[in-house]
């Protein structure tokens, strides 16, 4: 059995960045990836980039099938680039195969041509991502119409009617996208609150805008069964049927530990099925780390990338960087217009008893929104009345996915709201909205 200095299981964001970094230091790295369609990981192949490309193409009025073809060209290009980024390194080997632990430090890889190889790793990094949660609604998994987010982006024709199960962030992005391409979309969700974690005024505006774009949103429903293209549900005691030639299951993703052979190791798993890690991403076995979605917590590419930074710092730096330092993690939901948030919203500040000054303006007040012909939305920020520091912001409006990073920087670097208020911004831009928002 060969002993390898660094074994990375899964070609994910954090893992591939770590592999490249280790190669730069001349270290031996074995990257194991179970699918040659997944070099570069989930984000570039089946998630962030293809979905955003399709959303933007819908906004640009491109035909759905052309958009899917263009998206496929893009992912093929990125996959090839990612493969060579690692495979062309002298000290890196990319192995096509599925890895499984035999014990704490040894793994077995079943390669794509059926060969079984065994390796011992001095360091092992698990970066196997997450997989969609399959609901156990009677008839759903047997339905010819059912699809997950990956299949949703690979349709050869535009579905006429799409039923989206789950009004979470991914479900809403797809709902908004299919509606823009011209599908008739119905969103069904178990919860009676829409976007329950967001402030009510923000959630209400989003719901209203989605409904105005033609999407039917049914909340507080109990889906009783699916019969091929028919989704049967009950709401307030009444019975309904939603029809969809495609039914998108968008009810979350779970850490991907299936088949990893963790039962052969002392690597522990949390009660939510994620690999248990400490503040430095070490598992319960020495010299074995977990990176990205598989360790639970927020599922974002940039979190997986930040996991790389924590490990890099631990192996080669002062070892101070840790998970618990990531207090203000921004996020964006790419509906149109975008919803972005960082830090606290009103709901959270109130529940934690934190006092704040509220800054709030409709997006229609900003000149650039008129230029963009999209005055929908609402910007909100919370400022600490004693220090003038920003406690958080929820920006629902055009280009908020770019703006939120400025607020995030201000929060993390303790730049007071007044600095953003008095900053000179170019014009016309959405950034200049901060001149007014923080007045
Ligand atoms: C539709 C959709 C849209 C999204 N949009 C965004 C977005 O806009 N922005 C954002 O930040 N995040 C987004 N996400 C989330 C983001 O994609 C994930 O958080 C991120 O890709 C996780 O990366 P990772 O490093 O954990 O591993 P991944 O990139 O998931 O990589 C894991 C790899 O491990 C491989 N693998 C698994 N098991 C084995 C095994 N046993 N042996 C060998 N290989 C194995 C898999 O094939 C895969 O390639 C989106 C997700 C979805 C589903």
Dihedral in degrees, nearest 10, Cα atoms 9, 11, 15, 18: 110
Task: In whole angstroms, give the CA distance from residue 404 to residue 341.
Answer: 7
For the chain, the residue count is 439
Q: Return the best residue to mutate from 42, 56, 401 for the ligand 1 pocket (most ligand atoms within 8 A of CB).
A: 42
Is 427 catalytic? The answer is: yes
Q: How confident is the model at residue 187 (pLDDT cuts 50, 70, 90)?
A: very high
Q: How confident is the model at residue 415 (pLDDT cuts 50, 70, 90)?
A: very high
Q: Which pLDDT belongs to residue 375? A: 97
Average pLDDT (106-113) is 96
Please list the residues that pair with 4 across neighbouring strands.
Answer: 121
Share of the chain above pLDDT 70, in %: 100
pLDDT in tens, 211-233: 999 999 999 999 999 999 999 99
Does ligand 1 have an atom closer than 6 angstroms to the CB of 38? yes
Please list the residues that pair with 248 across neighbouring strands.
Answer: 147, 164
Average pLDDT (180-185) is 98
Q: Which pLDDT belongs to residue 295? A: 98
Q: How confident is the model at residue 260 (pLDDT cuts 50, 70, 90)?
A: very high
To the question of pTM greater than 0.95 for the whole model, the response is yes
The yes-or-no verdict on residue 423 having pLDDT over 90 is: yes
Q: Which of ligand 1's atoms lies nearest the C-alpha of 15?
A: 25
Cα of 41 to ligand 1 centre, how many Å? 6
Cα of 52 to ligand 1 centre, how many Å? 15
Task: In whole angstroms, give the CA distance from residue 396 to residue 398.
Answer: 7
Q: Which pLDDT belongs to residue 426? A: 98
Q: Which of ligand 1's atoms lies nearest the C-alpha of 299?
A: 19
pLDDT in tens, 142-157: 999 999 999 999 999 9
Residue 192: burial class (beta carbons within 10 Å; 0-12, 13-18, 19+): exposed
Q: Could you tell me whether strands 146-147 and 246-249 are parallel, antiparallel, or unpaired per DSSP bridges?
A: parallel
Q: What are the φ/ψ torsions at residue 312 (nearest 5 degrees)?
A: -60, -45
Please list the residues that pair with 92 across neighbouring strands.
Answer: 29
Residue 182: both structure tokens together: 């011209």
Cα of 230 to ligand 1 centre, how many Å? 31
**Beta carbons of 206 and 335 less than 8 angstroms apart:** yes
Cα of 409 to ligand 1 centre, how many Å? 25
Task: In whole angstroms, give the CA distance from residue 172 to residue 124.
Answer: 36
Average pLDDT (416-430) is 98
Task: In whole angstroms, give the CA distance from residue 327 to residue 306.
Answer: 13
pLDDT in tens, 362-385: 999 999 999 999 999 999 999 999
Kindly give, in sequence order, each residue whose CB lies less than 8 Å from that of residue 253, ignoring residues fewer than 6 positions away: 130, 131, 132, 133, 293, 299
Average pLDDT (387-404) is 98
Report which protein residue has its CA nearest ligand 1's atom 9.
48
The yes-or-no verdict on residue 343 having pLDDT over 90 is: yes
The yes-or-no verdict on residue 1 having pLDDT over 90 is: no
Share of the chain above pLDDT 90, in %: 99
The yes-or-no verdict on residue 388 having pLDDT over 90 is: yes
Average pLDDT (16-34) is 98
Task: In whole angstroms, give the CA distance from residue 148 to residue 249.
Answer: 5
**Beta carbons of 298 and 318 less than 8 angstroms apart:** no
Does ligand 1 have an atom closer than 6 angstroms to the CB of 338? no
Q: Could you tell me whether strands 184-188 and 216-218 are parallel, antiparallel, or unpaired per DSSP bridges?
A: parallel
pLDDT in tens, 350-360: 999 999 999 99
Terminus-to-terminus CA distance in the chain, angstroms? 66
Report which protein residue has its CA nearest ligand 1's atom 35.
10
Please list the residues that pair with 100 across neighbouring strands.
Answer: 108
3-state secondary structure of 35: coil
Does ligand 1 have an atom closer than 6 angstroms to the CB of 267? no
Q: Return the best residue to mutate from 30, 264, 301, 402 for the ligand 1 pocket (most ligand atoms within 8 A of CB).
A: 301
**Beta carbons of 404 and 330 less than 8 angstroms apart:** yes
The yes-or-no verdict on residue 255 having pLDDT over 90 is: yes
């Amino acid at each position: 059995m060969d002993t390898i200095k660094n074994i990375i299981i899964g070609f994910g964001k954090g893992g591939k960045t770590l592999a490249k970094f280790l190669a730069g230091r001349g270290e031996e790295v074995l990257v194991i990836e179970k699918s040659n369609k997944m070099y570069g990981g989930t984000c570039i192949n089946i998630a962030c980039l293809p979905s955003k490309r399709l959303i933007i193409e819908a906004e640009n009025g491109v035909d759905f099938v052309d958009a899917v073809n263009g998206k496929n060209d893009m992912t093929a290009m990125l996959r090839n680039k990612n493969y060579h980024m690692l495979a062309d390194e002298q000290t890196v080997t990319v192995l096509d195969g599925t890895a499984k632990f035999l014990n704490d430090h040894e793994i077995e890889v079943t390669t794509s041509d059926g060969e079984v190889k065994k390796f011992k790793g001095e360091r092992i990094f698990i970066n196997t991502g997450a997989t969609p949660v399959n609901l156990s609604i009677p008839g759903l998994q047997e339905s010819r119409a059912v699809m997950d987010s990956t299949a949703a982006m690979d349709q050869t024709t535009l579905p006429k009617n799409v039923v989206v199960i789950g009004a979470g962030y991914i479900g809403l992005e797809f709902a908004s996208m299919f509606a823009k391409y011209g599908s008739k979309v119905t969103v069904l969700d178990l919860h009676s609150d829409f976007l329950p974690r967001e402030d009510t005024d923000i959630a209400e505006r989003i719901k209203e805008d989605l409904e105005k774009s033609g999407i039917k949103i049914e909340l507080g429903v109990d889906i009783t069964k699916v019969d091929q293209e028919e989704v049967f549900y009950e709401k307030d005691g009444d019975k309904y049927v939603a029809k969809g030639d495609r039914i998108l299951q968008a009810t979350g993703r779970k850490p991907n530990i299936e088949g990893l052979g963790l039962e052969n190791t002392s690597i522990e798993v949390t009660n939510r099925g994620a690999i248990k890690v400490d503040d430095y991403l070490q598992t319960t076995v020495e010299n074995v780390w977990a990176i990205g979605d598989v360790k639970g917590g927020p599922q974002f590419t940039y979190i997986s990338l930040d996991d790389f930074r924590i490990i890099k710092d631990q192996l080669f730096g002062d070892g101070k960087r840790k998970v618990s330092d990531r207090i203000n993690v921004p996020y964006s939901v790419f509906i149109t217009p975008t919803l972005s948030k960082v830090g606290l919203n009103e709901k959270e500040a109130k529940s934690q008893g934190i006092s704040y000054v509220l800054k709030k303006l409709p997006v229609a007040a900003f000149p650039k929104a008129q230029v963009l012909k999209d005055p929908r939305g609402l910007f909100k920020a919370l400022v600490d009345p004693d220090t003038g520091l920003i406690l958080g912001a929820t920006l629902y409006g055009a280009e908020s996915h770019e703006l939120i990073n400025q607020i995030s920087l201000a929060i993390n670097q303790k730049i007071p709201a007044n600095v953003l208020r008095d900053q000179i911004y170019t014009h016309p831009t959405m950034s200049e909205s901060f001149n007014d928002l923080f007045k």
